[in-house]
Amino acid sequence: MALIAGALAAVLAVPLVLPTAASAVPVGAGSYADSRPAGTNGPTDQNGAPVTPKVTARMAGKPVPTNEWWSSLIWKRYPGNPYSENLYGHPMTYHAYAQGLGVGYPNTATVTTDGRMYEMLHKDDLFVGISGLNSPDTKVDGWSDWSVTPYWNDGARTLRTTIGHGLPFVYAEASGGNARVGFNGPTTVWSNTGSTLGVTINGHEYALFAPSGVNWTLNGTSEATAPASFYSVALLPSRDALSLFQKYAYSFVTDTKVSWSYDAGAARISSTYTATTVAKQGSQTGTLQALYRHQWLNSTDATTAYRYTSPRGEMRLREGGAFTTRSNFSGVLPALPLSNQADANRLRADIDAELNAADPWKGAADTYWTGKAMWRLAALARVANQIGYTAGRDRLITLVRDRLTDWLTASSGEGSRMFAYDSTWTTLIGYPAGFGSDQELNDHHFHYGYYLLAASVVAQHDTAWASDARYGGMLKLLARDANSHVRGDTQFPFLRSFDAYAGQGWASGHQGFAHGNNEESSSESMMYATATILFGQAVGDTALRDSGIYLYTTQQQAIGQYWFDKDNAVFPSSFGHDTVGIVWGGGATYGTWWTANPEEIHGINMLPITGGSLYHGAWKSDITQNINELRASNGGPEVEWRDIIWNYLAIADPAQAQNLYGGGIEPETGESRAHTYHWITSLNRFGTPDHSVTANTPTYAVLNKSGAKTYVAYNPGTATATVNFSDGGSLSVPAGSTAWNGPSGSGVDAGTGVTPPTTPPTTPPTTPPPTSRNAFAAIQAESFDQQNGITTGTGGDGGQHIGSIGNGDWALYKGVDFGTQTGRQFSAKVASGAAGGISGLVEVRIGSPTAAVAGSFALANTGGWQTWKTIPANVSGLTGKQDVYLTFTSGQPSDYVNVDSFFFGQ
């Protein structure tokens, strides 16, 4: 990652501008560009050449699915391969060729020689095609939630197949030649009734179904052909299943669709998976579907006795066109409650260290690192509010809100900190991009999830800013790009990054790998789900919120099984690891994309630590096992990412985590000392997650310490709410607040703490400042044109003032007009509640915040932050109309002044 970030920094030295043809498309007060900035890239092949979706004319213009288990069909990643890479549908696997579709069933796992990966790689058992087919490419002629329709045409022959997750059939439609199934290995024909063949290939059982009255012709054991316009090929779990598969052989799947429903009262999500079919002959409808482990464990719908093997463990076969899973939702929070044993002075000092850093953003430039930095600062706003540090809270909110506003606005001539829409691939790309989010459409749910999560905190403080009319509309576009929940969305594909049937996300846009698609950081995928829940809840968008609850609960089940193997029923017995860093379509890897360091292999599925991270509490014993393996693989205690690892450990063993955390460690880039200390001390005081108790609001948690429960809930509404818990507990939560109550303590993270929005340089303010100001009349300090590091607050003669002012901050006032007179004195109405020994200068500069000082006065504590004094100073003779900067200089990092107004004298 460091190397990539360094390379990106070098690229960013070149200014980027929107091409002259680009236009800003307004979305509320925000906007995005309708084409890419000059010099940037969109989706490309391996050589960096632009690519377009490989779709038929029938599918042209529809939102393009990327990040799918089958995306290499639609994305020509390698110039020499116009067909596909290996596709892992499970139980069957596939690969497209000129002659048609290769089909296999890898059901034996192998472990690589280094012991770091188990794999079930695709191998062709047979080929589904047409006699003589030699297509120059494979296109996509249709898709639905977990199925896809590859298409071949060589000018004389046309083949159309439909394949999907859980589908044990390949459905084929052929024209221009005989249907053909080529055998690719030792073959035995064990049943032949003319239109139906039962064959064993490479030890795997298959059945071939031609229409009634059409017989298969065998060419030895190399192929079977038939004069059929449609046919199906099935993978049989055993030979005695032939009659069951015969029943559904001509009921072709034409659509697959997931739907979900959240019952808030029961805290339960119900998800129904439906395969729509059409009878190609006869009247039979419905189909057979193989359910993954995370599905059949959470469904009461009956399955047959037939089983398949997959890299995700056992799959169970169900007869019927639909099934439903049901899972309890364990809740998410904006932040954990504050422990009454936490040291508030320590928390404030650590918050100030972040605020007063030379660069609070730590060099973040691209969408990923910026997103992590915004969440790091936003998370601290909740901590600051809990300890009553409102000035620090407001500065944090302002920092995050202004940076978000900048990114959510595309202006003419702008080429960075903005989003551009790619109409060819129907995606919104942020520039500067990171980790292939532009050229490979990687990781959009990771990157944009951080923006949404940070915005959810801003929305708790500034609901107007987060409204659709302001910047909420742009944030919802980011959510829809990563995982649109809108059926019929014309701008983005449905659930781009989330595989509804597999129950997890996929990170790669193009899926150009022999092992299929992959997902490394399952925890960042859960972060996206958490963000949509919290943002949707904060702005009252229940559809967005409920889609996040679906993603969260479904992934929680999949992550426990496929990343952590919590039941010890998925990983092969010969695989010597209890967790993996990356899940692939064809297996899983104990590793990461950038390092073999065990701490990061384990840690990448822990970070970021959020109020949604408590899902790990569903496998507390596995947390301990995970940490033990980390230390064994590491050859000793952790030395990197210790804050992340100890935060994770605290979900199961907070006492050990608190004993380990002494402070002073270098935080992971997206974490901070204050947040880590707050998290660990909270869990150590109140206990670990108790998922046996649910609540009738989605923003809740129950923490249990030795049987003593603490109830926690967040209420984004405008009136006090009573939250009821399934064990009979209840909690009264004031409007806009988080409240908690239990034997270990109670409290309220009170109010929204609204602060009026400030204005970053690229965004016009809601109420434009005056274009001309009388230098000799009072100028209200909050009427600035631009600012750095400043917030506004209530108080002073004008009703508001500027505050949170410390060393290096400034405010600009344009067009201060001295007319024909000369200004020789400057006076400002100021107040300070700074601690003893803290003081600083209030300065006047002309034209630039770094220009020579025209005049200044020193200020220390005036008796309080609302104890106002008017202090004069001499200035060098000022004439004409000037851009005046108030600048602030101090030898200490603490805030030291509020300013209500100022004026000049002769």
Alpha helices per DSSP H over 427-508: 444-461, 472-483
Strands (E), 121-250: 126-130, 138-143, 147-153, 158-164, 169-175, 179-183, 187-192, 196-201, 204-209, 217-219, 223-226, 230-235
Residue with the two structure tokens 């997902």: 519
Distance CA 164, CA 93 (A): 10
Facing residues of 316 across strands? 291, 307
Active-site entry in 462, 524, 690, 785? 524
Distance CA 486, CA 279 (A): 29
Residues 6+ apart with CB under 8 A from 642: 660, 661, 665
Q: Which amino acid is at 512?
A: G
Q: Which residues of 306-338 are buried (b: 16+ CB within 10 A; e: fewer)?
A: bebbbbbbebbbbeebbbbbbbbbbbbbbbbbb
Facing residues of 583 across strands? 519, 588
Mark whether 524 is an active-site residue.
yes
Helix axes 522-539, 472-483, angle to 10 degrees: 140
Three-state DSSP at 737 gives strand
Q: Residue 365 has which token pair?
A: 């430039």
Mark whether 499 is an active-site residue.
no
Query: From residue 454, how far is each of 116, 435, 582, 641 by CA, in Å?
Result: 35, 20, 26, 22
Residues 6+ apart with CB under 8 A from 569: 293, 313, 314, 561
Of 900, 830, 832, 843, whose CA–CA distance to 874 is shortest? 843
Distance CA 906, CA 824 (A): 5
Facing residues of 127 across strands? 102, 182
Mark whether 440 is an active-site residue.
no
Q: What is the DSSP letter of 22?
A: -
Q: Would the CA dihedral through 176, 177, 183, 189 be positive or negative?
A: positive
- Cα pseudo-dihedral 403, 409, 410, 414, rounded to 10: -30
If one counts every other C-beta atom within 10 angstroms of the C-beta of residue 186, the result is 10
Distance CA 469, CA 426 (A): 23
Active-site entry in 205, 223, 443, 782? 443
Q: Residue 138 has which token pair?
A: 């494979």
Q: What phi and psi, each to the nearest 5 degrees, are found at residue 629?
A: -65, -40
Active-site entry in 125, 173, 394, 520? 520
Q: What phi and psi, each to the nearest 5 degrees, are found at residue 519?
A: -140, 125
Distance CA 529, CA 546 (A): 10
Is the Cβ–Cβ distance between 162 and 79 less than 8 Å? no
Facing residues of 289 across strands? 318
Q: How far apart are the first and last CA of the chain?
A: 58
Burial of 393 (0-12, 13-18, 19+ CB in 10 A): buried
Which DSSP string do the residues of 788-843 spell out, in sequence order? ES-EEEE-STTSEEEEEE-TT-EEEEEEEE-TTS-EEEEEEEEEE-PPTT--EEEE
Distance CA 377, CA 461 (A): 14
Catalytic residue ranges: 443, 520, 524
